[in-house]
Structure 1
Amino acid sequence: MGPINETHVAEPGLVVVELATADDETAFALQEQLAARWATAPADRTTREPGEPGVRLRCYLDLRQPLDA
């Protein structure tokens, strides 16, 4: 994963979420749960670190924009 850019968190309520999970299915399921609550810029793929277990996924949330359930 690349570094978090200052633009990603330039204002209160902007959040960068980096997930570390056992597999793609778990990472995308958790991202889906986050996206159901807040405006989200979802990731479309996970990354893997050679020699490390599991996968990582980064998504961006705007907590200022909660979604209606």
Structure 2
Amino acid sequence: MKIDDQHIAEPGLIVLDITAADEGTLQTVMGSLQQQWATSGISPVRRTPGEPGVTVRMYADVRRQPDPID
């Protein structure tokens, strides 16, 4: 999957490709990351035939704290 230039256009913007054995682990990791930084949120999980585990792509701005929940 190609990374769009806008997702890393400035220092502090990152793209994370995370692979885990199962979807539950990915959900836990994404939830923890979105508590630390402003992120793209919980993203759809991908499976690649012939490769172990499941993968997700998440975008984050490590300069910002997440928006408070009302």
Q: Could you say whether these structures have the same fold, taking a TM-score greater than 0.5 normalized by the shorter chain as the test?
A: yes
User: Could you say what secondary structure the match of 1:66 adopts?
Assistant: coil
2:46 is paired with a residue of what secondary structure? coil
Q: CA RMSD in A?
A: 1.4
- CA offsets 1:8-45 (integer angstroms, 9 cap, x no match): 10000001111010011101110100000000112431
Query: Structure 1: which 5+ residue stretches go unaligned?
Result: none
Letter of the structure 2 residue corresponding to residue 16 of structure 1: V
The equivalences for 1:17-56 within 5 A come to: 17-56=16-55
Cα deviation, residue 53, structure 1: 0.9
CA contact (8 A) 1:37 1:66 kept: yes
- The sequence identity of aligned pairs, in percent, is 40
Which segments of 5 or more consecutive residues in structure 2 lack a partner in the other structure?
none
Match of 2:56 in 1: 57
Q: Which residue matches 2:3?
A: 4
| Contact map agreement 2:43 2:57 (CA 8 A) in 1 | no
